[in-house]
Amino acid sequence: MKKLSLAFCCCFVSFLSFSQTTKSTLAIIPEPVKTITKPGQFILPKNITIQASLSKEMTPVTDYLRKKLSGATGAFVTVKSKFATPATIKLLLNTKADTVLDKEGYLLWVGAKGIVIRANEPAGLFYGVQTLMQLFPKEIESAEVHHIKWTAPCVDITDYPRFAWRGLMFDVSRHFFTKEEVKQYIDQMVRYKFNLLHMHLTDDEGWRIEIKSLPRLTTVGAYNVKKVGEFGNFSAPTPDEPRTYGGFYTQDDIRELVQYGKDHFLNILPEVDVPGHSLAAVVAYPELSATPGADKYQVRSGEHMMDFGAGGIKALVDNTLNPASEKTYEFLDKVMTEVAQLFPFGYIHLGGDECAKSFWEQSAEVKALMQKENLKTMEEVQSYFEKRLEKIVESKGKKFMGWDEIIEGGLGPKAAVMSWRGIQGGITASKLGHEVVMSPTTFAYLDYMQSDRVMEPHVYATLRLNKSYEFEPVPDSADSKLILGGQANLWTEQVFNFRQVEYMTWPRGFAIAESVWSPKAKKDWNTFYPKVEKHFARFNEAEVKYAPSVYDPDFKPKMTADNKLTVEFTNEIPDLDIYYSFDNSYPDRFYPKYTSAIEVPKDATQLRVITYRGKEPVGRMITMPVAELKRRLGKGGQQ
């Protein structure tokens, strides 16, 4: 195959001998394994012919490419069989597998006279198409026709993923997002070669998947009271407030989403979060609770319900399933039967995180279970629950997966672990011989603030783009053979609409995409952030929202020895200038320019800053109250 590929390249482009392997100056995310730039450019004609097999397995690739090309260019695009010549773009499946490319890799050749993408399987061709789209002008992402010169640089690209598991988790339980919005999310994901959507389908705020044998899960459990403000601090709903906010996916909706994912070479991992985070299920079926009075509970609407302290998690209402009741396992068997039939992916995620055991400690049933099964701790009680659930999942032909808390009381024999509380859980699980997906808060939590808290919905931590870019799914001490890959997680407590979903995902999603696709050695922040800026322009064309937080400086207040308040700024991007004011006006580049720590005037009430690149403003106008700077002094400058 390698000899044939070389011969083809020599015929295809006469000046290939002048090619050289270079550090890519192209804005391709994620960074390919190998890029060879060549002189010249390809010009897309007005009539485009795609040569490809007309088989059913190729239809998703050709349909996608035809739609992308015709939508933005206005060109007439036809797809012909592999025997058609000449062709503008050739999509070729290898007759003999190239072992380097495996299932998702591709070879992309762009020459002055045409384009060829080769792969072992249609998935590889699809990812080659994604790279090709990034070689065309940014207007290719527009839904409108642009009459411009459509060119792509001449390149040879060899590319394949580092990991098979490249995911994003989308929490559709805290706030319900429609089927069409989930499809939009898939559209955005696959452009950056993500291949797995983890859907968090159940939680205290809503049960989002129809289970026909348990109809109250959605007739009752899918709805709460609509609240707007800061989630977690909402007032408790009153009896007269309508419980009409929410929704769920019918089983036909799920089938449609699964097929949509398949047509975009993406799997969907369902998550049913148990035994904690189960209030919606308990409200629907109170007999699942170990606590008397559960029939008075309501689906959570965002009011304060959980206390997270040094002594552990304390719940104000019992949002757990009863681990000592056979009714719980009968319930879960029914749920797993229907979930397993709807999702062809080989794993089912069963949560296991943040299980508040304060009510279990008071339950006579749970105490009797502990005595019967010789369980010494509440962690062992949860382990008993998880191991029974693992058997149920396996009986449906699926693999059991849970968050890293499932390690604490002892893992089931084949359980896979998703490590979120840092990387240690994944290291531990891999050393015990269990499969692991890395999704640590340290790098991969997309619900975290991505700029200063004066600019963001308040959550308990900040995660900047440059920190996300440090994500490395294989820690040195882990068993690398058992690390399936990695993903980022978007919890949606503070995300009320789909535009905010986009804002929170991008550009940090770019960083995660490159961490799970590109070779570790190819990752370079100084190469990455200029690419991000070019993709901002592409998102503008696509009308996809993103966070410009990379342009926002960090504020670091300090008190000098002579008791004067000062503030320092740091930027993620090095080539920016910061201008500021203390006089309540809006600074531009004619205002004072930041060069070193500045003293806050005695009577100033607010500091305003904005970042520029040369003569152009690139950052947002940020207003920082002086009172907030003083507050942070007591926290060591922390936000």
**Residues marked as catalytic:** 203, 277, 354
For residue 373 the two structure tokens come to: 């099964």
* C-alpha closest to that of 349 among 425, 270, 412: 270
φ/ψ bin of 30: left (φ > 0), alpha (ψ from -120 to 50), beta (otherwise): beta
Q: What Å distances lie between residue 625 and 359, 606, 612, CA to CA? A: 43, 4, 21
DSSP state at residue 213: T
Residue 139, helix vs strand vs coil: helix
Cβ(330)–Cβ(288) below 8 Å: no
Phi, psi for 165 (deg, rounded to 5)? -105, 110
DSSP state at residue 312: E
φ/ψ bin of 91: left (φ > 0), alpha (ψ from -120 to 50), beta (otherwise): beta
Separation CA 223–CA 300 (nearest Å)? 9
Cβ(619)–Cβ(606) below 8 Å: no
Q: Between helices 59-73 and 122-135, what is the axis angle to 10°?
A: 10
The number of helix segments (H) and strand segments (E) in the chain equals 17, 29
Q: What angle do CA 151, 155, 159 make, to 5 degrees?
A: 120
Separation CA 343–CA 399 (nearest Å)? 12
Q: Between helices 59-73 and 251-263, what is the axis angle to 10°?
A: 80
CA 160 distance to own-chain centroid: 20
Q: What Å distances lie between residue 235 and 106, 307, 584, CA to CA? A: 54, 16, 34
Separation CA 635–CA 639 (nearest Å)? 8
CA 389 distance to own-chain centroid: 27
CA 228 distance to own-chain centroid: 24
User: Which residue bears the tokens 């990387």?
Assistant: 423
Separation CA 297–CA 282 (nearest Å)? 8
CA 391 distance to own-chain centroid: 29
CB atoms within 10 A of CB 389: 29
DSSP state at residue 593: B
To the nearest 5 percent, what fractions of the chain are helix, strand and coil?
A: 35, 25, 45
Separation CA 625–CA 152 (nearest Å)? 48
Cβ(436)–Cβ(386) below 8 Å: no
Q: What Å distances lie between residue 600 and 299, 568, 619, CA to CA? A: 48, 11, 22
What strands, in cross-sheet order, belong to the sheet with 565-570? 554-559, 565-570, 598-599
Residue 120, helix vs strand vs coil: coil
